[in-house]
Structure 1
Amino acid sequence: MFIGLVAGLVGLALGTFGVLAYRVSERQRRLLDVDAEEPALPPGAAEVLAVVGRAFVVVDAVDGVVRASPAAYAYGLVRGHTVVHRELLDMTAGVRRDGVILEKQLELPRGPLGQGTIIVQVRAAMLGEEYILLLADDRTEITRTEEIRNDFVANVSHELKTPVGAISLLAEALESSADDELAVRRFAKRMHKESGRLAALVQDIIELSRLQGASVAQQGRPVDVNAVIAEAVDRSQLPAESKNIRIVVGGRTEAKVFGDQDLLVTALRNLIDNAIRYSPENTRVGIGVRSREGLVSISVTDQGEGLSPEDQERVFERFYRVDSARSRHTGGTGLGLSIVKHVASNHGGEVTLWSQPGQGSTFTLRLPEMEGQDDGEQQDAAAAAPGPARHSLEEPPVTQGPGAAGATERGAKA
């Protein structure tokens, strides 16, 4: 009897084990069936999308992301398995409803934080019977370049019309006042001023055009920075003397840079002229130069009113003027600092700004030193560098205001 009871228990255990094994096997089979029924792209679609060269997102019937390219995540179109932007979901709904291909250019937030946006050309179309494909092409840089070009053309047209119109009106006034000697002199003086302004504007436009076509890498040569400073200072003496402003040069470098000397002189002259234009009479403009960590830094410091943070963000834009009325009075074209920025970029360098209202401004042009210089070449360049245009070399560049010492350092950090 005892043996029968044991045999019964063993049989019950084996039966229970068999039932459990069957259920586990069924569950695994069902899981495999579910896996087999997971969304799959039409044959060949994955291979085509892999080489299409554009960001893509494939969504199912409920707009769940079936597949997305790394670029789609980088653009911020997809987060996890969700399409982020309502505009894209509206496009998928339209394709699903009407069965047509939709194409739009959208400006979308790049991420959940900040104000950055991305401009994308999006094309939505059916993929197979149940999926919708979104193809996105980043057009941000192209669109903004077109906007800058259009703004530039519009601004040039506007800026040219002003002096041309003034000259035309002055010519008519001059003709009608032929018998009034005082009026003739007054109108002639105004015409001379407007023609000078027009000539300066045309020259700056020509400089910008030349910069865009210049290849410093192919046409450059070793340039002595000391000679660049001397020539730029010499060219700026006349406007400085008209306001009794003294140009003070401090420092010297034996390092050379590789580039176009004429362009570098133009850039530095624009910085000096800008400092003179916005400095009060009977003040000083300081120019400092030094070499450090493979960079040659040239700083121009004025004793003007300084710039607000808002103006500092836009001061290098074409035709931007902090004070339009004052710039027109002083003859500024609004292109000088834009030219400086282009020259710095073409030479692999940069131009930075430190400024505070009431404490003046310091513009710093930094250029990479030319590699492969030897001591003999540097000494020869130092001996040959012209010096007549240097003034008060024993004095440091002019600075002012609390903590003004080290304005060059502040300019480098701007």
Structure 2
Amino acid sequence: MSPLVALVVGLVLGGVVAATVILRFRRADGVEPDRAVAGLPEAALARRLVDLMDPAVVLVDVDESVLLANPAARALGIVRGDRLLVPDLVHLAQEVRSGGSRRADVRLPGDLVGSGPRLVGVHGVRLHSGTAPPPGPVALVLEDITEAHRVEAVRRDFVANVGHELKTPVGALALLAEAIEQAADDPEAVQRFAGRIAHEADRLGRLVREVIDLSRLQGGEPLPELVPVEVDGVVAEAVDRTRTAARAKGLDIAVGGESGLVVRGVESQLATAVTNLLANAVAYSVGEGRIAVAARARSGFAEIAVTDSGMGIPRKDRNRVFERFYRVDQSRASSTGGTGLGLAIVKHVATNHGGSVSVWSEEGLGSTFTLRIPLVAGVPAPVRAPEQMEKEHS
């Protein structure tokens, strides 16, 4: 329960108590609750305040009938007529009536609200002040905490995954330092171990950079202003960043498709996304071959497709490759140097730009990752000289 909600509840409950007492007597006389409230300025004011509250508010009488439910409560589907439909809420109201204030998290069935199960934080308050009978009505204030609970679970999972991923390079660095100390009189071994230390340090640095990038993309920092960006420049930058690693594996990067496309975005983020797709293609390509990157305009989007002839992705893994730290072949994580964050970063870049990323793949045939970014409407395609294009893509 947020402090703001608690404050509002405290301000409203005083008026609600008076309204509730009158409601109970009017109900006994056969008068509809809403009409009774409408006739009393104080009760009407309290009802109006409750109706305007974002949290759901339900007043439950001693016979478990609902005296009052604001629009937020009815929108959750927890009330039908004058009855509560969720047994856990009824049970909580009974506990509050017999024992005083209670707080609990209650899961609402998905069929009540039509949007899947929801988790609500409930603050139950007994409205009569005395400790002795007779018992009085109970106010239940419900706040939807589904998203907050999901975000907290994601945060815990992220922290756990980062810790696990950091263990590998940090542990390797410690072991290599010990090996160098023991091989101080063997220059060749020292040189070999030093090379491994440089490799693990680079892997550690890349992991830290990608964690920072992902944190920024997920809302840690506001998204910079989106400006027109030439797709040709983004592709050229990504190819330039990846060419050395591709040549080391005997791979060529072929650039094709339409030129002159302009999207609205952040050039550095788009270049990082395409670079990650190319780096992924290089890492998982087998033997000498070719990686292709091409852009085209389609249905108001620029589609940048990166195709490799690698091992492909099993069907069961295709929907998960964009998850953080997920790897199709965990045993190859060390050999490829991957952090498991590259494709997650691509997904967040696409989402932040109002686009998407998808994958087509068949085992043994390779994969095609397609990044879709909205085109800038009404911007003419820039004219590029052939020698300029050749220089950018060489």
Q: Work out the CA distance in 1 between the residues paired with 2:143 and 2:89.
A: 13
Q: Work out the CA distance in 1 between the residues paired with 2:79 and 2:110.
A: 11
Q: Work out the CA distance in 2 between the residues paired with 1:119 and 1:85.
A: 12
Alignment-derived partner of residue 255 in structure 1: 261
Question: What SS does structure 2 have at the residue aligned with 1:313?
Answer: coil
Alignment-derived partner of residue 160 in structure 1: 166
Relative to 1, partners in 2 of residues 1:82 and 1:337: Cα closer, same or farther, differing over 3 Å?
A: farther
**Cα shift at 1:139:** 1.3
**Cα shift at 1:68:** 3.0
Alignment-derived partner of residue 30 in structure 2: 36
Relative to 1, partners in 2 of residues 1:185 and 1:276: Cα closer, same or farther, differing over 3 Å?
A: same
Alignment-derived partner of residue 48 in structure 1: 49
Q: Work out the CA distance in 1 between the residues paired with 2:71 and 2:167.
A: 49
Pick the aligned partner of 2:355 from 349, 355, 358: 349
Relative to 1, partners in 2 of residues 1:139 and 1:282: Cα closer, same or farther, differing over 3 Å?
A: same
* Equivalent position amino acid for 1:190 in 2: R
Normalised by the size of structure 1, how large is the TM-score? 0.76
**Cα shift at 1:269:** 0.4
**Is the CA contact (8 Å cut-off) linking 2:180 and 2:190 kept in structure 1?**
yes
Alignment-derived partner of residue 366 in structure 2: 360
**Is the CA contact (8 Å cut-off) linking 1:110 and 1:117 kept in structure 2?**
yes
**Cα shift at 1:76:** 4.4
**Cα shift at 1:384:** 9.1
**Where does structure 2 lack aligned partners over 5 or more consecutive residues?**
1-25, 38-42, 129-134
**Where does structure 1 lack aligned partners over 5 or more consecutive residues?**
1-31, 392-414
Alignment-derived partner of residue 64 in structure 2: 63
Aligned positions of 1:2-401 closer than 5 A? 36-39=30-33, 43-44=43-44, 45-78=46-79, 82-98=83-99, 100-111=100-111, 116-127=116-127, 130-211=136-217, 212=219, 215-218=222-225, 220-373=226-379, 375=380, 378-380=381-383, 386-390=389-393
Q: Work out the CA distance in 2 between the residues paired with 1:357 and 1:111.
A: 39
**Is the CA contact (8 Å cut-off) linking 1:253 and 1:291 kept in structure 2?**
no
**Is the CA contact (8 Å cut-off) linking 2:89 and 2:106 kept in structure 1?**
no
Over alpha carbons, which structure has the higher Rg? 1
Relative to 1, partners in 2 of residues 1:71 and 1:344: Cα closer, same or farther, differing over 3 Å?
A: same
**Is the CA contact (8 Å cut-off) linking 1:155 and 1:319 kept in structure 2?**
yes
**Is the CA contact (8 Å cut-off) linking 1:248 and 1:286 kept in structure 2?**
yes
**Is the CA contact (8 Å cut-off) linking 1:226 and 1:385 kept in structure 2?**
no
Q: Work out the CA distance in 2 between the residues paired with 1:289 and 1:81.
A: 60
Identity of aligned residues (%): 44
**Cα shift at 1:54:** 0.9
Q: Work out the CA distance in 2 between the residues paired with 1:76 and 1:240.
A: 57
Question: What SS does structure 2 have at the residue aligned with 1:236?
Answer: helix
Alignment-derived partner of residue 21 in structure 2: none
* Equivalent position amino acid for 2:391 in 1: P
* Equivalent position amino acid for 1:104 in 2: A
Q: Work out the CA distance in 1 between the residues paired with 2:235 and 2:252.
A: 15
Encode CA deviations 1:222-272: one digit per residue, 9 max, x unaligned.
211011112211221122122222222221142311222121111100011
Question: What SS does structure 2 have at the residue aligned with 1:379?
Answer: coil
Q: Work out the CA distance in 1 between the residues paired with 2:280 and 2:286.
A: 12
Q: Work out the CA distance in 2 between the residues paired with 1:144 and 1:34.
A: 44
**Is the CA contact (8 Å cut-off) linking 1:317 and 1:338 kept in structure 2?**
yes
Q: Which has the higher contact order (CA 8 A, sep 6+)?
A: 1
- Equivalenced residues, count: 355
Relative to 1, partners in 2 of residues 1:192 and 1:34: Cα closer, same or farther, differing over 3 Å?
A: closer
